A = this chain, B = another copy of it.
Amino acid sequence: MSEGRATIVDVARLAGVSKSTVSLVLGGSSLVADATRERVAGAMSELGYIYHRGAATLRGAKSGVLGMVINDLSNPFYVELAIGIEQACQGAGFIPFLANSAEDPVRQQEVIRSMREHGAAGLVLAPAINTSLGDLTGLIAGMPVVQVMRRLPGLKASLVTPENREGARKATARLIGNGHRRIAFVGGAGALVVRDDRLAGYRLALEEAEISFDTALVVESTTNYAGGGAAAARLLAPAERATAALCFNDVVAIGLIRALTQAGVLVGRDFAVIGFDDIEEAKHVLPPLTSVAVNARNLGSRAAQLLMRQIASGHFEPESILCPTSLIIRSSCGTALVTAEETSP
A98–B97 touching, CB < 8 Å: yes
5 pairs from A and B in contact (CB 8 Å cutoff)? A48-B141, A54-B54, A76-B76, A86-B99, A281-B284
The answer to whether the Cβ of A65 comes within 8 Å of any Cβ in the partner chain is: yes
Chain A 96-122, CB-CB to B under 8 Å as 1, else 0, gives 111110000001000101111111000
Number of interface residues of A (CB under 8 A): 49
Shortest beta-carbon distance, A76 to chain B, in Å?
8
B82–A118 touching, CB < 8 Å: no
Complex: chain B residue closest to A45, CB-CB: B138
Contacts of A52 in B (CB 8 A): 58, 117, 119
Complex Cα–Cα for A107 and B95 (A):
13
Complex Cα–Cα for A192 and B128 (A):
40
Complex Cα–Cα for A5 and B142 (A):
8
* CB under 8 Å from chain B, chain A span 71-95: 73-74, 76, 79, 82-83, 86-87, 90, 93, 95
The answer to whether the Cβ of A55 comes within 8 Å of any Cβ in the partner chain is: yes
Contacts of A100 in B (CB 8 A): 83, 86-87, 90
The answer to whether the Cβ of A189 comes within 8 Å of any Cβ in the partner chain is: no
Contacts of A90 in B (CB 8 A): 99-100, 107, 111
